[in-house]
Amino acid sequence: MKIVVQRVSKASVVINNNTVASIDTGLLILLGIVDEDTQEDITWLTNKIVNLRIFGDENNVMNKSLIDVNGDAIVVSQFTLHAATKKGNRPSYIKAAKPDIAIPLYHSFLESLTKDLGKPIQSGQFAADMKVELLNDGPVTIIIDSKNRI
């Protein structure tokens, strides 16, 4: 499982001209899933996300977590995070999990993040054509791969 975490001042997701998710201070999380991903990957990642100290303290030093700042989160499914670009100019998405595997893991990720954060999170819609808007704060953008924990 691979994620891109972006610290935001605000973010939203629009589908068919309807805003389906909107937050102020918090994290926009792009989530890519592969066939080999498991609940263990989800548990590790959601714990990492809520405790990642990337928010400024009173001295503007990144010492606070999403929990510490009572921030919100939006999760957006993003199969293109697993694009293979080694050969040619057309990315291959062969590594991305097919919907029968990805959808249950996506929903499990949402549930786990909600539990770890202690409040509801927002999300896009799996496989929808989404328009994602954000005001990246910092900017702070971090890529985390659950397969590279060591």
Of 6, 46, 55, 79, catalytic: 79
Of 55, 78, 109, 122, catalytic: 78
- The Cα 57–Cα 65 span in angstroms is 10
Q: Is 79 a catalytic residue?
A: yes
At 130, list the tokens.
């989404």
Q: Is 80 a catalytic residue?
A: yes
Answer yes or no: are the C-beta atoms of 132 and 78 closer than 8 Å: no
The label of the residue with tokens 């499914």 reads 77
Of 19, 38, 39, 80, catalytic: 80
Q: Is 125 a catalytic residue?
A: no
Residue 128 DSSP SS3: coil
Closest to 35 (Cα-Cα) out of 90, 75, 79, 85: 79
Which residues are catalytic, by number?
78-80
